[in-house]
Amino acid sequence: MARALRPVRGTHDLFGDDKRRFDHIVVTARSIAAAYGYAPMATPTFEFTEVFRRTLGETSDIVTKEMYTFASGSGEEVTLRPEGTAPVARALVSGGRLQVLPARLFYDGPMFRRERPQKGRMRQFHQVGIELIGEPSPVGDVEVIAAGARLLKELDLADSVVLRLHTLGNSASRDRYRSALVGYLDQRREGLSADSRRRLDRNPLRVLDSKAPEDRQVANEAPRLLDFLDRESADFFAAVRHHLDALGISYEIDPMLVRGLDYYMHTTFEFVTDRLGAQGAVLAGGRYDGLTERMGGPALAGTGWAAGIERLALLTGDALPAATRPVLVACISAAATAQALLCAETLRNMGLATELALQGSLKRQLRHADRIGARAAVLLGDRELEAGLALVRDLDTGQQSEVPFALLPNHLSEISSNG
């Protein structure tokens, strides 16, 4: 036997309940998105590298070290998407779908970042997300936050997360704050961690959410972004809070909450948990006005979020909707094969999930029925063929009855309907 191959680092396979839990999250998210008028859409799994380089920020870690980038073969450089928002903006622009605004869109699918894997962090991970494009009102931010809160509630995670809210203000406010912060931090450079000294030069706002103990005090006493908001930015933030309050959505203002990606402005938020080790954020987003312009289209407002499916799955634990219980058609003799196949198709026509067992002893086939969680088994052998009927075994009660072929669908529907 050849050496067993293994999955690529940071990827993994999903079977059984794990896969059902995953799908349940996607289905739930899609249905909640639909309730808010967000239409499903999909973008390619890879894009020209330019799409991400232009929008995430040249200095972001995603762009500098985490992208899976390769040559497309025709001289173009392409990248497996590390996140979903930039591709959505690109798709609206390149598809010319800017006639009907605002656009409300839902997506789900794999994302790729070349990071060291750890709990809740994979190299191929999966997100669901919504984007509201072309809506400049702070009510739009509240709408997407409400949809996110509803998703978490629907997944029974309302008590596991808290909503952290902050604002980066408009670009003028943000620039003024940035210079004030750099001035403050620069005087305390010696006291900062090595990581934060690097952040100071590249992305100073990130010093604020550093975990290093030596940085904490410096960050806590730093000038507050909220004090640097101009009138427009302050009003915007006040409106977001006002409408969240009106909806009864509770939140904490987190002055240390900043975003890693350059395109965010005004509202930023994260639903965080303390149950996933180092990875607290399960659903996060914010406002990104102007992203479509960077994609070569008109300047449009935008706001939205993405949620990590693996992280949500870790939190939802064992909670799962009941699996469909199939009927097993057991073919006991070779002569009964055609009848068994026909019988299985007939049951499927009735909408009953049906699996056909073709090999092994009856004992083996019934054991298989038990393992796949079958509700009932239809037994077909020489005796049944001759008599023109089938044995139907209720696998929960063990009761067995003889049923003419024509009555099988009704009989099995009956059994399946109670459990």
Partner RNA sequence: GCGAGUGUAGCUCAGUGGUUAGAGCACCGGUUUGUGGUACCGGGGGUCGUGGGUUCAAGUCCCAUCACUCGCCCCA
Return d(Cα 334, Cα 44) in angstroms, integer.
48
Write the DSSP symbol of residue 207.
G
- Which C-beta is closer to RNA: that of 115 or that of 154? 115
- Which C-beta is closer to RNA: that of 142 or that of 151? 151
> Would you state the structure tokens that stand for residue 309, as one six-digit string?
């499916």
Task: Tell me which residues in 228-267 interact with RNA (CB under 7 A).
Answer: 259-261
Quote the longest CA-to-CA distance of the chain.
Answer: 94
- Which C-beta is closer to RNA: that of 133 or that of 332? 332
- Which C-beta is closer to RNA: that of 15 or that of 71? 15
Q: Which of 361, 372, 407, 410 binds RNA (CB under 7 A)?
A: 361
- Residue 316 within binding range of RNA, rule CB under 7 A: no
The single residue listed with the structure tokens 């996607």 is 26
Segment interacting with RNA, rule: CB under 7 A, options 71-79, 100-108, 165-173, 364-372:
364-372
Write the DSSP symbol of residue 280.
-
Return d(Cα 297, Cα 97) in angstroms, integer.
11
Return d(Cα 294, Cα 285) in angstroms, integer.
19
- Residue 185 within binding range of RNA, rule CB under 7 A: no
Segment interacting with RNA, rule: CB under 7 A, options 28-36, 176-184, 376-384, 404-412:
376-384
- Long-range CB pairs of 209-213 (<8 Å, 24+ gap) are 209/256, 209/257, 209/258
Q: In the β-sheet with 302-308, what is the strand arrangement from edge to edge?
A: 39-40, 103-112, 124-133, 302-308, 281-287, 265-272, 162-167, 252-253
Binding residues for RNA, rule CB under 7 A, total 67
Minimum distance from CB of 236 to RNA (Å)? 21
Selection from 285, 28, 248, 261 nearest residue 140 by Cα: 285
Selection from 223, 184, 181 nearest residue 204 by Cα: 181
- Which C-beta is closer to RNA: that of 133 or that of 309? 309
- Residue 400 within binding range of RNA, rule CB under 7 A: yes
Selection from 277, 272, 283, 276 nearest residue 315 by Cα: 276
Task: Tell me which residues in 142-181 interact with RNA (CB under 7 A).
Answer: none
The pairing of beta strand 376-380 with beta strand 389-394: antiparallel
Q: Which of 47, 131, 141, 310 binds RNA (CB under 7 A)?
A: 310
- Residue 60 within binding range of RNA, rule CB under 7 A: yes
Q: Which of 18, 66, 154, 355 binds RNA (CB under 7 A)?
A: 66
Taking residues 199 to 228 in sequence order and writing x for each that binds RNA by CB under 7 A, - otherwise, the string is x---x--x---xxx----------------
- Which C-beta is closer to RNA: that of 192 or that of 229? 192
- Residue 17 within binding range of RNA, rule CB under 7 A: no
Segment interacting with RNA, rule: CB under 7 A, options 14-22, 61-69, 289-297, 350-358:
61-69
- Residue 308 within binding range of RNA, rule CB under 7 A: yes
Selection from 38, 55, 32, 59 nearest residue 147 by Cα: 32
Segment interacting with RNA, rule: CB under 7 A, options 24-32, 110-118, 178-186, 218-226:
110-118
- Residue 98 within binding range of RNA, rule CB under 7 A: no
- Residue 122 within binding range of RNA, rule CB under 7 A: yes
- Residue 5 within binding range of RNA, rule CB under 7 A: no
> Would you state the structure tokens that stand for residue 45, as one six-digit string?
């799994």
Phi, psi of 84 (to 5 degrees): -105, -20
Segment interacting with RNA, rule: CB under 7 A, options 6-14, 18-26, 220-228, 292-300:
6-14
Q: Are 330 and 372 in contact (CB under 8 A)?
A: no
Minimum distance from CB of 124 to RNA (Å)? 9
Give the containing element (helix H, strand E) for 331: strand 327-331
Residue 79's Cα: distance from chain center in Å? 20
- Residue 141 within binding range of RNA, rule CB under 7 A: no
Q: Are 56 and 86 in contact (CB under 8 A)?
A: yes
- Residue 189 within binding range of RNA, rule CB under 7 A: no
Binding site for RNA (CB under 7 A): 6, 9-10, 12, 60-62, 66, 83, 113, 115-122, 125, 127, 195, 199, 203, 206, 210-212, 259-261, 270, 277-284, 306-308, 310-311, 332-333, 361-364, 366-367, 369-371, 379, 381-384, 391, 393, 395-398, 400
